[in-house]
Amino acid sequence: MLIHRPEPGPLYSVYFAPRGYVRMTHMGMQIAQRHLHVYDRLIGIIGDAGSGKSLLVSGMFPGLELTNDDGGVNVRPLPLLEVKEEGFYQPHTYHVDVRFEQAFTQPHMLAEAVLRALSLGRRVVVEHFELLYPLLNVNAQLLIGIGDEIIVCRPTLFGPEPEDIARIVHRSIKYRRMAHSAEDLTERALALQGIPEREYEHDDVRHGFMLRFRKRPELDIERLTGDVQSQIEQDLKISFVDNEHIRIGGSLHRCTGPRMHVPSTGKIENFRFLPQLHDDVLTDTCLLVGLVGEVHPRGNRDLNSIDQL
């Protein structure tokens, strides 16, 4: 089996893992434009449940039939298992979620199907790639991990290995869950101060979130911190309702990323706001920054330091 490898580039590219369906699919489109090569045949996706793997794939490959969505159980037999050398209506790109498909197909059969599709010149996008890699013994040409950040790399014979990426993203996903949950609590607290969601946009910072205001708000950050901390101390249950809503305690709350939360507010560790609003002179906006997890030892100016990956 011959797999073309384009010229090597940077070992890693790192992006923020954004909040919500629209931003995640848009990120997938950007990753495809910047990193996907026309000759790439094996794409590996790694990440925890609810991290946004399928959304990213949808953005990278618009129109690709995903076999792990709510209706995917009806896509039987799995199209990947029936790849033919010739014939009409044969797709060029196939999708498989290894963890999902293990309920229907033995892993060694999935590995054989992937290798056969590759040998016939097809492209295969594999979610939970690290689970299938020991049986494939072939690394992905493009490997993408989704945790607190999105890591994109193009492995060589000398790595990185899928388990290397898996170790990073599975360790960091907890910060993204905490940050997204704290962001929703902040939205609720802002509403109590008479600041509706339409007055700000959502943005990202490592181990936290940013709210970008087009007009400087009359905001009491100390009171806001107390309101959010109160919700955390109550340990309110956070549960998925539908694709646009979660439930916090007994209250319905609109959310564009409803699967990416801690199970209850008490799981949010060391929440705090930066003590003042920060002006972004290039965009003429001001930023409210919320953070979770450990305190960065090098100060606020270096929150996104790459050595923290």
Q: For the chain, which ranges sit under pLDDT 50? A: 1-8, 72, 306-309
Q: What is the CB neighbour count within 10 angstroms for residue 182? A: 26
Judged on CB neighbours under 10 Å (0-12, 13-18, 19+), 145 is: buried
Q: What whole-number distance in Å separates Cα of residue 45 and Cα of residue 42? A: 10
pLDDT of residue 31: 97
pLDDT by residue (tens digit) across 65-117? 898 765 545 566 788 998 887 766 778 899 999 999 998 899 999 999 999 99
Q: Give the long-range contacts of residues 130-137, CB within 8 A, separation 24 or more.
A: 130/44, 130/46, 130/162, 130/163, 130/165, 130/166, 131/98, 131/99, 131/102, 131/107, 132/98, 132/107, 133/44, 133/161, 133/162, 133/163, 135/107, 135/108, 135/110, 135/111, 136/111
Complete domains list, the chain, with CATH: 12-160 (3.40.50.300), 175-295 (3.30.980.10)
Whole-model pTM?
A: 0.86
